[in-house]
Structure 1
Amino acid sequence: MGPRADAALPREVEPYLTELVHRIRAVYQGGLVSAFAVGSLALGDYRHGRSDIDITVVVDAAAPVDRAHELAEALAHPGLHCPAAGLELVVYDADFAAAPGPRAGYLLNLNTGPLLPAVADFEPGRSPGFWYVIDRAIGYQSGRLLSGRAVREVLGAPVRRDVLASVAASVREHTAGEGHLADNRVLNGCRSAVFCRTGRWVAKREAGRSLAAAVPEFRPLIEEALHSFERPRGRALGLPAEEVVAFLHWVRRIVAGTPE
């Protein structure tokens, strides 16, 4: 389960999240339907210096399209200083959010912050949908409300077939490895395997500890990934490339064998 709704936000990011919501409201005026955290903030494992801040925003379907462009400008680092590794924020209109399906479907995909390449994308058709499907599934299970209507009032239930296809796509991407730290590749694989075994999304470190205890063959690799994950991104450890790929091929077999 994610954190309780009344649990304290990490002190390092609470003022930032307050200002973030203030700026979203200011841009969308009465058109903000809901804003909630997904990712590590939702799953109760935010780590300052390593984690991103992952936010989903749902807005009225009648809101002017140019509001998404205004929001990207209003939230861009360093104009609004992001205290985390980065902000990954996605805006959906309420009609899409209620029945999202397998597509990316966003009005805005914003990446900004000190350790993220800046992205402000308004064309969802150019993006593979799998990351967004996974984030929405985590949000539906454990999303942490920051403003507006309850998550499950605005976000449609994930379709298991779509989620499993998205998990498979994410593991394929991590197997290829381009642009991903080795420890994150391993722990994302752990999270994927645990989801396929249990039907629940858990934080990457929790998934790693669970799988290390259950699968002795990969325990040394997973424990080394967990050790590396404790370090800031810039000081992450290298892991044996062949072992990482072998582990992810094992995860792919777990995912492929999961019944719909």
Structure 2
Amino acid sequence: MTASGQPQPLPAELRPYLGELVRRTRAVCGPAVAGVYAVGSVALGDYRPGRSDVDVTVLVDPALPGDALRELAEVLAHPGLPCPAAGLELVVYGSDFARRPSGRAGYLLDLNTGPLLPGRASLDSAGTPAFWYAIDRAVAHQSGIALLGRAAQEAIAAPQRAELLTALVASVREHTEGTGHLADNRVLNGCRAAAFCRTGRWLPKRSAARLIAAEEEAFRPLIAAALDSFARPRAEARPLPQADVRAFLARVRDRVEEAAAADGPARPAH
């Protein structure tokens, strides 16, 4: 949402692509489609050509057969549908699941495709780390842009705050210990996690970075370096001192755990 509460405008270079994505989704799924939403950096107004993925959430009748979901993955896959961004991260949920607060992964299809994104098409969420999806649905609830269907705030529920803080602890752990993450993204996702604890809202990465830099003087040079790197295409991202990145993420984890302790224990995921 913009400062006035209106949805962010879609980047011009993505409009034809997202229009065709909606058309193909409707062609495959027919009346089973309940909604299609631009989420992630597009919804937060922080999309960067050459750097950002396009994140899309699709809601369908949960009775939609698996064959239709497989066909959908095929017709949306790059380069059959050329993705103009670094990649497409598309998640399909049953509409009944999406409208209930939950910390579970819960997807029917998780599709990753695009010129800079390793391909993935999963139809089984069992055993999948749930934090990615819980956080994405929270962002969708707050700021998702409806490409088809009713408003995202009505169709997609955010997990409860306690479940989100649990998800953020897992996210910070992944960005500390996991592989394949750009250093600048580790830092900026840490800033966004800390900013959520501070404000209760999901901020664009650059806005979150400015907020946390003002509060964490010791890490200002690292955050500034992460912002400088984030302004570049993925292939030109700059390395950051790994010891500093880990120290910053340890500080973020402390902040998240402090917020979780203040709120009390998380309720079981639905």
TM-score, normalisation: structure 2: 0.93
Cα-to-partner distance string for 1:20-42 (whole Å, 9 max, x where unaligned): 01011111111110111111001
Cα-to-partner distance string for 1:119-151 (whole Å, 9 max, x where unaligned): 000010031100000000001111111111221
Cα-to-partner distance string for 1:197-240 (whole Å, 9 max, x where unaligned): 11010011111112112221100000000000000001100000
Secondary structure, counterpart of 1:84 in structure 2: coil
| Distance (Å, rounded) in 1 between the aligned partners of 2:174 and 2:249 | 10
Cα-to-partner distance string for 1:94-127 (whole Å, 9 max, x where unaligned): 1111225121111100000000000000010031
Matches within 5 A, 1:34-45: 34-45=35-46
Secondary structure, counterpart of 2:11 in structure 1: coil
**Matched residue, 1:10:** 11
**Matched residue, 1:252:** 253
Give the conservation status (yes or no) of the 8 Å contact 2:145–2:151: no
% same residue: 59
**Matched residue, 2:63:** 62
Change in CA separation of 1:64 and 1:177 when aligned onto 2, cut-off 3 Å: closer
TM-score, normalisation: structure 1: 0.97
**Matched residue, 2:268:** none
Give the conservation status (yes or no) of the 8 Å contact 1:109–1:121: yes
Residue 191 of structure 2 corresponds to residue 190 of structure 1: yes
Change in CA separation of 1:143 and 1:7 when aligned onto 2, cut-off 3 Å: closer
Give 4+ residue runs of structure 1 displaced > 3 Å after superposition: 1-8
Q: Shift in Å at residue 177 of structure 1? A: 4.0
Letter in 2 for 1:156: A
Task: Give the alignment's Cα RMSD to 1 decimal.
Answer: 1.3
| Distance (Å, rounded) in 1 between the aligned partners of 2:25 and 2:174 | 32
**Matched residue, 1:179:** 180
| Distance (Å, rounded) in 1 between the aligned partners of 2:215 and 2:258 | 18
Give the conservation status (yes or no) of the 8 Å contact 1:5–1:145: no
Residue 72 of structure 2 corresponds to residue 71 of structure 1: yes
Give the conservation status (yes or no) of the 8 Å contact 2:103–2:159: no
Matches within 5 A, 1:1-260: 1-2=1-2, 5=6, 7-258=8-259, 259-260=262-263
